[in-house]
Amino acid sequence: MQYISTRGQDGPISFQDALLNGLARDGGLYLPTEIPRFTDAEIAEMADMSYAAIAGRVMAKFTDGEVDEAELTALASSAYGDFTDPDVAPVKQVSERLHVLELFHGPTIAFKDYAMQFLSRIFDRALATQGRRAVILGATSGDTGSAALEAFKNRDMVDVFILFPDGRVSPVQQKQMTSVIAEGAHAVAVTGDFDDCQHLVKSCFNDLAFRDSVHLSAVNSINWARLMPQIVYYFTSALKVGAPAQKVAFSVPTGNFGNVFAGWVAGQMGLPIERLVVASNQNDILTRFFNSGEMTREAVIPSTSPSMDIQVSSNFERLLFELLDRDGMACAALMQDFAQTGRFEVSDSLMARARDAFSAYRLDDAETAMEIDTLLKETGMLIDPHSAVGLGAARRAIQDGTIPNDVPVISLACAHPAKFPTAVESATGIMPDLPESLSDLMAREDAMLRCDNNMSSVQALVQNHMRKAS
């Protein structure tokens, strides 16, 4: 299996090179040269396998010729061995048709742990193979940062720097990042919003001289290897509700489009996904696109679901590339238009293809709070605002007939409610407790760096704080 760029000027390269490069050298994102498929019979065989074994089976399709299934299964067993639920990613029933996939049983109680814990281990393997160090530079709207710092702390071959928008993540999210005090782990506050942080990361990657001098790599979902482990829980959850004999739909709260794109890939691999519901908060650039065919950037509006406060959805480029029949030049031209003008528009025929797979809905903060309160009253379940956005969108897709009556819907619960206690308490009157492992979080010692909102400041900070090879 080899990898190519969405902008057509980089690749084909190996899985390991795509992993360590992170962002393609032409500014695009890597995708496999072809998306592999399972037969229904092969999917059915997974029903009795463990989570780690399914992870090895699914991800081996993308590492063929480099990392075999047995090694991937072992890495996954190590990655998920300390998760707090024996199912790793359990599915809970809400109503006859509606289910919740709980993705908050890892060390930082958010879905990013499922990718990050695996990614740190496969990074170690790749760096050991090449005998070199790496600097990981990432941006976070809240959950990626803590998951990355937790997973990569004290790794001898890696320094990790995570940029986050100062004052625009929840206090729990910030404390989870700044309380990771370890060799090579740095939380960096930047004035601005997440899109600013993401732009700084991409700018540093596009400065090829800097990139090569520090061996820059990425753990954001711009890195294909970040998405691979996320594909897995679409398979495991669909199997729990009857796939492959039964079609299934998913509702995914998303801002950067990575999590829902992983679901799209699962469908291309043969999982019988009837529909993917794109759930947005009031920063609804994705919902507006799927309704209009026009991607238009607007100002970011702070919300009670801050991890989705995004107006530049990096992973959408991967879907755009696929919808354009993998025409890298056409994809590059549209992305260049967006960078220069803050908008682009696609044809009606392309939008028809997109709408065959996706529907999109938005919830504002008031609607999100109502969903949190409604679910608590109906079932006794407490969810965070991001998960509530997904659940509210799922209910709307069911109500308006977007999803056929005989298709169960799985809504992704991407964070523990205690990560956003103020929003949950405001909606329900209940202050959610942190899990026991994090019960002392807010009293922990913390440390962070600060950086101006420009590329040269970020580069200077990295060079001043990275550990040098001995």
Assess contact for 413 and 98: CB atoms under 8 A.
no
Nearest-angstrom CA–CA distance, 420 and 414: 12
Q: Which of 112, 175, 202, 240 is catalytic?
A: 112
Please state whether beta strands 409-413 and 158-165 pair in parallel, antiparallel, or not at all (unpaired): unpaired
Handedness of CA 218, 219, 222, 224 (dihedral sign): positive
Specify the length of the chain in residues.
470
Q: In what order do the strands lie in the sheet with 185-190?
A: 216-217, 134-139, 158-165, 185-190, 449-451
Nearest-angstrom CA–CA distance, 54 and 59: 8
Q: For the packed helices 258-268 and 224-240, what is the interaxial angle rounded to 10 degrees? A: 60
Tokens for 230, please give them. 């996320």
Tokens for 305, please give them. 């679901």
User: What is the C-alpha R_g of the chain?
Assistant: 20
Tokens for 42, please give them. 């092969």
47-52 long-range contacts (CB < 8 A, ≥24 apart) are 47/239, 51/76, 51/80, 51/87, 51/88, 51/89, 51/232, 51/236, 52/76, 52/77, 52/79, 52/80, 52/88
DSSP assignment string, 13-38: EEHHHHHHH-S-TTS--EEESS----
Residue type, 239: L
Determine whether 112 is an active site residue.
yes
Assess contact for 53 and 74: CB atoms under 8 A.
no
- The continuous run of DSSP H or E covering 343 comes out as strand 343-345
Tokens for 304, please give them. 């009670």
Assess contact for 363 and 388: CB atoms under 8 A.
yes
Q: For the packed helices 455-465 and 194-206, what is the interaxial angle rounded to 10 degrees? A: 70
| Active-site residue list | 112
